[in-house]
Amino acid sequence: MPKKIPPPAATLAAVLVLAVACQTSAPDPGAIDRDLLDVTVGQLHRLYAERKYTVAQVVQWHLDRIDRYNGVYGAVETVFRREALAEAAQKDAEQAQGSSARGPLWGVPVVIKANTSIAGQVTTAGWHGFTRAGHELIAPRDATIVAKLEAAGAIIVGHTNMPDLANSDTNRSSSYGRTGNAYDVRFSPGGSSGGTVTAVATNMAVLGNGTDTGNSIRMPSATSALVGFFPTRGLVSIAGIAPLDWLLDNTGPIARNVTDAAIALAVMSGEDSLDACTMAVPDTAQRPPYEPYLRADALRGKRFAVPAFVLAGEGIPFRGIPACVPEAAAEAIRTDEKEPLRPPTHAMFMQALAALRSAGAEVIVTDDILPASFAKLASRVGTYPYTLFGTNRFLAVFGSPEYRSAADYQRVVGAPLFPSMIGTGASRVMGGVEIEQRPFDTDPDAERNYRAPRREMLAAYLEPLDRLKLDGYVYPAIQMPPPDETMPQDGRVSHGPHSATSWVNMIGVPAVAVPAGFYPNGLPFGLEFSMRPWRDGDLLAVAYAWEQHTHSRRPPVLVENGLLPVTPAREARGSQAPAR
């Protein structure tokens, strides 16, 4: 849909827009604001069924929100204005002609994270190196989830800002700039899906996708009172998403409520020959539709435990430590990665546990459930040696025609790819050992670096669930409140709020962040649940029951003038900004 529109198609789109506009009067601004602020997918579809608004009017309202607020909050890097309006007009024309064919996201404005390929558009992934004039990473095809969302009727209004190649816990990019928190623009929205969470929280879109290599769906959602769902790895394809670490990467929906997240997850899931993990889903996996799982009493009788290592702030180095690093050096690295649970967050978590118990759940807090030894075990799931392998696989299919590998990019552009994509970043040397890049499929050390410790870690995760007959785990989605980015954090420029949740990616189990109240300064606190692999429906049920029991979310109060400068959003390739 946000592909560059050729002139004849653009002319037809303009005719469709004009034709629909002639048949409908402009909506009352007050009424449409009341109807569309925090609108759900179900509510929007009822408005369409009642013919209260056209799709074009709904899309235009969301584009107007981008024009009004993006200059302050910096959520959307690229606006697909003309493409979105053309698609909306097409849908309105089909409805006028009596068509009843509608997908589950028909006419729903959505945003897509900037590392997710959209055919004909630049996949910036937040990095200036993919926006170099004449050498842009122009996607030759849609990412699998983009194709699925469009097939379901969604209308993509923009690519959202993100830090360079998703390699940060806050949301500053070299290709665009900074994104602010919807609840206070001075504060971090978290990363790396901070653009999507701010866009959804500020009603620039109804929902969007995030990607997650260590916490990047769940942690930003927690900063912004949203639902962020990390599916069991393999339920949703990651094909077409520029990788940070393909062995840890995942994608899932970010929404304002659990029902919308469940609808979006059902659309996004499914087999894909470009992602082998999706071709190995067990028969026992809970598959869509997911709405039937949603029950308000789903927490009653459930048993959860709190991972002791999270409360203790034990460190798990991002991307793990390969087997070649001696244990003494590995222990020093783990010590450096400790992230204490801050007192305000601990207090909010205790309040959340009380609410969970009041909903009928049992919560066990002891020092021997996923203790420090679990964090130590997780730290040995080493993925860094296989970074370049994943990057080359992505570029081979979704790269620009002039570069289909990291070597091609270096040759054509005269500069290397972003260090975290090719294994030349700070983690290249661990404990005095240089980490070589290797082909995953043929590396004899892949077993001891990754496969064996991952199996052992998953077994350790499941053991308390079996022994204590637990339904899952519950813990803070972040170890601290969102930081004020106008002030130093630990004596330096903010790197964003940090979490202790990257272990979820290492074993690929499902997890969800949900709104769970507000700190005294008005910024959101988020709670996270995780469960057994392939129990995604049950996890959505838990999130839904929590939502219905607490009603924790409230929308942000937005400002139209910010304290920090923000770069204006780019128009899509071939589009023009509206006249002012």
Q: In this model, does residue 198 exceed pLDDT 80?
A: yes
Q: Are residues 26 and 144 in the same domain?
A: yes
Q: Is 302 a catalytic residue?
A: no
pLDDT of residue 19: 45
Structure tokens at 570: 């780019």
Q: Are residues 135 and 224 in the same domain?
A: yes
**237-274 residues labelled b (16+ CB within 10 A) or e (exposed):** bbbbbbbbbbbbbbbbbbbbbbbbbbbbbbbbbbebeb
Catalytic: which of 168, 175, 188, 192?
Answer: 192
Q: Could you tell me if 111 and 208 are in contact, meaning their C-beta atoms sit under 8 angstroms apart?
A: yes
Evaluate whether residue 190 is within a structural domain.
yes
CATH of the domain at 269: 3.90.1300.10
Q: Are residues 252 and 195 in the same domain?
A: yes
Helix, strand, coil content of the chain in percent (nearest 5): 40, 15, 50
Q: Do strands 570-571 and 76-79 pair parallel, antiparallel, or not at all (unpaired)? A: parallel
Q: In this model, does residue 8 exceed pLDDT 80?
A: no
Evaluate whether residue 319 is within a structural domain.
yes
In angstroms, rounded to a whole number, what is the distance separating the alpha carbons of residues 261 and 278?
20
Instruction: Give the mean pLDDT of 561-578.
Output: 72
CA distances from residue 362 to 299, 369, 472 in whole angstroms, order as listed: 9, 15, 11
In angstroms, rounded to a whole number, what is the distance separating the alpha carbons of residues 371 and 336?
18
Torsion sign (Cα): 363, 214, 147, 76:
positive
Q: In this model, does residue 9 exceed pLDDT 80?
A: no
Q: In this model, does residue 268 exceed pLDDT 70?
A: yes
Evaluate whether residue 579 is within a structural domain.
no
112 HSE (CA, 13 A, CB side) = 37
Q: Is 100 a catalytic residue?
A: no
Output DSSP code: residue 447. I
Question: pLDDT confidence of 574, banded at 50, 70, 90?
Answer: low
> Which of 11-15, 49-53, 90-94, 228-232 is the least confident region?
11-15
Instruction: Give the mean pLDDT of 410-425.
Output: 96
Instruction: Give the mean pLDDT of 352-370.
Output: 98
Q: Which residue has the tokens 């969604």?
A: 154
Q: Could you tell me if 494 and 564 are in contact, meaning their C-beta atoms sit under 8 angstroms apart?
A: no
537 HSE (CA, 13 A, CB side) = 12
- The more confident residue out of 368 and 563 is 368
Catalytic: which of 91, 113, 148, 302?
Answer: 113
With H, G, I as helix, E, B as strand and everything else as coil, classify residue 122. Answer: strand
Question: pLDDT confidence of 5, banded at 50, 70, 90?
Answer: low
pLDDT of residue 21: 44
Q: In this model, does residue 176 exceed pLDDT 60?
A: yes
Evaluate whether residue 413 is within a structural domain.
no
Q: What angle do CA 18, 22, 25 make, to 5 degrees?
A: 125
Q: Are residues 214 and 335 in the same domain?
A: no
Output DSSP code: residue 449. I
Evaluate whether residue 397 is within a structural domain.
no
How large a percentage of the chain has pLDDT more than 90?
89
pLDDT of residue 579: 42
Q: Are residues 211 and 237 in the same domain?
A: yes
Q: Of the candidates 194, 277, 196, which has an alpha carbon nearest to the alpha carbon of residue 505?
A: 277
Instruction: Give the mean pLDDT of 369-387.
Output: 98
Average of per-residue pLDDT values in the chain: 94
Q: Could you tell me if 461 and 146 are in contact, meaning their C-beta atoms sit under 8 angstroms apart?
A: no
In angstroms, rounded to a whole number, what is the distance separating the alpha carbons of residues 149 and 265?
10
Q: Are residues 66 and 128 in the same domain?
A: yes
Q: Are residues 308 and 285 in the same domain?
A: no
pLDDT of residue 454: 98
pLDDT of residue 279: 98
In angstroms, rounded to a whole number, what is the distance separating the alpha carbons of residues 82 and 158?
11
Question: pLDDT confidence of 12, banded at 50, 70, 90?
Answer: very low
Q: Are residues 38 and 113 in the same domain?
A: yes
- The pLDDT tens digits for 493-549 are 878 899 999 999 999 999 999 999 999 999 999 999 999 999 999 999 999 999 999
Q: In sequence order, what are the beta bridge partners of 241?
A: 116
With H, G, I as helix, E, B as strand and everything else as coil, classify residue 139. Answer: coil
Q: Could you tell me if 537 and 290 are in contact, meaning their C-beta atoms sit under 8 angstroms apart?
A: yes
Distance of CA 190 to the CA centre of its chain: 11
- The pLDDT tens digits for 238-247 are 999 999 999 9
- The more confident residue out of 107 and 490 is 107
Instruction: Give the mean pLDDT of 358-371.
Output: 98
Instruction: Give the mean pLDDT of 466-482.
Output: 98
Q: Are residues 327 and 234 in the same domain?
A: no
The secondary structure of 61-119 as a DSSP string is HHHHHHHHHHHHH--EEEE-HHHHHHHHHHHHHHHHTT-----TTTT-EEEEETTB--T
In angstroms, rounded to a whole number, what is the distance separating the alpha carbons of residues 496 and 188?
6
Could you tell me which residues come within 8 angstroms of residue 431 by beta carbon, excluding any fewer than 6 positions away?
321, 325, 326, 328, 329, 330, 332, 333
Catalytic: which of 168, 173, 216, 552?
Answer: 216
Range of 343's domain? 303-384+442-550
Count of domains observed in the chain: 2
In angstroms, rounded to a whole number, what is the distance separating the alpha carbons of residues 180 and 522?
15
Question: pLDDT confidence of 492, banded at 50, 70, 90?
Answer: confident
Q: Are residues 343 and 275 in the same domain?
A: no
Q: Do strands 207-211 and 362-364 pair parallel, antiparallel, or not at all (unpaired)? A: unpaired
CA distances from residue 440 to 335, 353, 477 in whole angstroms, order as listed: 28, 42, 31
Evaluate whether residue 432 is within a structural domain.
no
- The pLDDT tens digits for 206-222 are 999 999 999 999 999 99
Question: pLDDT confidence of 564, banded at 50, 70, 90?
Answer: low
Q: Are residues 259 and 335 in the same domain?
A: no
Q: In this model, does residue 30 exceed pLDDT 60?
A: yes
Q: Are residues 276 and 374 in the same domain?
A: no
Instruction: Give the mean pLDDT of 474-480.
Output: 98
Evaluate whether residue 51 is within a structural domain.
yes
Q: In this model, does residue 111 exceed pLDDT 50?
A: yes
- The more confident residue out of 301 and 491 is 301
Q: Is 148 a catalytic residue?
A: no
Evaluate whether residue 523 is within a structural domain.
yes
Q: In this model, does residue 319 exceed pLDDT 50?
A: yes
pLDDT of residue 13: 47
- The more confident residue out of 99 and 294 is 294
Q: Could you tell me if 497 and 344 are in contact, meaning their C-beta atoms sit under 8 angstroms apart?
A: no
Question: pLDDT confidence of 25, banded at 50, 70, 90?
Answer: confident
Question: pLDDT confidence of 3, banded at 50, 70, 90?
Answer: low
In angstroms, rounded to a whole number, what is the distance separating the alpha carbons of residues 369 and 241?
35
pLDDT of residue 18: 46
Q: Model-level pTM?
A: 0.95
